């Protein structure tokens, strides 16, 4: 897994765990994500496989 950004350290751990434990999209969605942080974007990315995340109350704006 590779992440290149100023805040990569805030995201890399979620991706590494997902790869190491062979997590599915549903596993990632069901994982408790700290809110509000960049790591919650992993959950939103996973949810986007099933729904329009732009319609969620957290994402309207």
* Residue 50's CATH number: 3.30.390.30
Maximum distance among all alpha carbons in the chain?
35
Residue 32, number of CB atoms within 10 A of its CB: 6
Task: Supply the range of the domain harboring residue 24.
Answer: 9-55
Residue 61 lies in a domain: no
Position 21 scores a pLDDT of 96
In tens digits, the chain (61 residues) has pLDDT values of: 788 888 888 888 888 999 999 999 999 989 887 777 777 888 888 888 898 877 776 655 5
Report whether 18 contacts 24 (CB < 8 A): no
Total domains in the fold of the chain = 1
Residue 44 lies in a domain: yes
Report whether 44 contacts 53 (CB < 8 A): yes
């Amino acid at each position: 897994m590779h992440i290149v950004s100023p805040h990569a350290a805030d995201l890399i751990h979620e991706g590494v765990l997902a790869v190491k434990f062979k997590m599915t999209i549903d596993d990632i969605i069901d994982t408790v994500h700290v809110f509000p942080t960049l790591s919650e974007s992993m959950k939103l990315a996973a949810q986007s496989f099933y729904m329009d995340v732009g319609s969620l109350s957290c994402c309207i704006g």
